[in-house]
Structure 1
Amino acid sequence: MHPRVPDPLGSARLQQARLEEAETQHLRLQPEHAGRRLDQVLAELLPAFSRSRLQAWIEQGRVLLDGHRSRPKDRVRGAEQVLVQPLLERVGDCLPQAIPLQIEFEDEHLIVVNKPAGLVVHPAAGHPDGTLQNALLHHAPGLAELPRCGIVHRLDKDTTGLMVVARSLLAHRSLVDQLKARSVKRDYRALVVGAPSVSGRVDAPIGRHPTRRTAMAVVASGRPAVSDYRVLVRYRRHSLVAVQLQTGRTHQIRVHMAHLGFPLVGDPVYGGRSRAAAEAVRPELASALGAFPRQALHAIGLGLIHPASGQPMHWQIPMAADIAALCALLQQDMDGEAR
Structure 2
Amino acid sequence: MSQTLEAQQRIPDTMAGMRLDQAAAELFADYSRERLKSWIKSGALTVDARPGKPKDKVYGGEALRLQAEIEDDTRFEAQDIPLTVVYEDEHVLVIDKPAGLVVHPAAGNPDGTLLNALLHYAPELATVPRAGIVHRLDKGTTGLMVVARTLAAQTALVEQLQARTVSREYDAVALGTMTAGGTLDTPIGRHPRDRKRQAVNASGKPAVTHYRVVERFRAHTHVRCRLETGRTHQIRVHMAHLHHPLVGDPVYGGRLKLPAGAGDELKEGLRAFPRQALHARKLAFVHPASGERLMCRAPLPDDMLVLLDMLRDDHATMR
Q: What TM-score range do you get, normalising by the shorter chain?
A: 0.7 to 0.9
Change (3 A) 1:306 1:279: farther
Deviations 1:63-105 (A, max 9, x none): 967549xxxxxxxxxxxxxxxxx99663122110000010011
1:201 corresponds to which residue? Answer: 183
Aligned equivalents of 2:6 and 2:273: distance in 1? Answer: 44
1:304 corresponds to which residue? Answer: 285
Q: Residue 181 of structure 1 aligns to which amino acid in structure 2?
A: A
Q: Residue 312 of structure 1 aligns to which amino acid in structure 2?
A: R
Task: Choose the corresponding residue for 2:218, options 236, 249, 256.
Answer: 236
Q: Does 1:294 align with 2:275?
A: yes
Q: Does 1:210 align with 2:192?
A: yes
Aligned equivalents of 1:310 and 1:130: distance in 2? Answer: 34
Q: Does 1:329 align with 2:316?
A: no
- State the 1:21 CA deviation: 7.6
Change (3 A) 1:88 1:250: farther
Aligned equivalents of 1:22 and 1:148: distance in 2? Answer: 22
Change (3 A) 1:186 1:335: same
1:112 corresponds to which residue? Answer: 94
- State the 1:179 CA deviation: 0.6
Q: Residue 122 of structure 2 aligns to which amino acid in structure 1?
A: A
Q: Residue 296 of structure 1 aligns to which amino acid in structure 2?
A: A
Unpaired segments of 5 or more residues in structure 2? 8-19, 24-31, 44-51, 58-67
Change (3 A) 1:303 1:331: same
Give the superposed CA RMSD.
Answer: 3.0
- State the 1:295 CA deviation: 0.3
Task: Choose the corresponding residue for 1:172, options 154, 159, 174.
Answer: 154
- State the 1:259 CA deviation: 0.6
In the TM superposition, 1:133-212 aligns within 5 A as 133-212=115-194
1:96 corresponds to which residue? Answer: 78
2:22 corresponds to which residue? Answer: 26
Unpaired segments of 5 or more residues in structure 1? 1-13, 28-47, 69-85
Greater mean deviation of Cα atoms: 276-285 or 98-107: 276-285
Aligned equivalents of 1:180 and 1:280: distance in 2? Answer: 47
On the 8 A contact 1:159/1:296 being kept in 2, the answer is yes
Deviations 1:305-337 (A, max 9, x none): 111111111111211110110000000000111
**Counterpart of 1:230 in 2: which secondary structure?**
strand
Aligned equivalents of 1:22 and 1:291: distance in 2? Answer: 55
**Counterpart of 2:145 in 1: which secondary structure?**
strand
On the 8 A contact 2:21/2:55 being kept in 1, the answer is no
Greater mean deviation of Cα atoms: 129-138 or 309-318: 309-318
On the 8 A contact 2:209/2:225 being kept in 1, the answer is yes
Deviations 1:134-163 (A, max 9, x none): 000001111111111110000000100000
Aligned equivalents of 2:251 and 2:174: distance in 1? Answer: 14
Change (3 A) 1:289 1:131: same
1:72 corresponds to which residue? Answer: none
Tell me the percent identity.
50
On the 8 A contact 2:3/2:127 being kept in 1, the answer is no
Calculate the TM-score normalised by the size of structure 1: 0.75
In the TM superposition, 1:250-289 aligns within 5 A as 250-271=232-253, 274-277=255-258, 281-289=262-270
Q: Does 1:314 align with 2:295?
A: yes
On the 8 A contact 1:267/1:295 being kept in 2, the answer is yes
**Counterpart of 1:275 in 2: which secondary structure?**
coil
On the 8 A contact 1:206/1:217 being kept in 2, the answer is yes
On the 8 A contact 2:219/2:259 being kept in 1, the answer is no
Aligned equivalents of 1:220 and 1:188: distance in 2? Answer: 25
Calculate the TM-score normalised by the size of structure 2: 0.80
* Alignment coverage as a number of residue pairs: 281
Larger radius of gyration: 2
**Counterpart of 1:265 in 2: which secondary structure?**
coil
1:122 corresponds to which residue? Answer: 104
Q: Residue 303 of structure 1 aligns to which amino acid in structure 2?
A: A
Aligned equivalents of 1:22 and 1:212: distance in 2? Answer: 47
Aligned equivalents of 1:112 and 1:276: distance in 2? Answer: 36
Greater mean deviation of Cα atoms: 234-243 or 303-312: 303-312
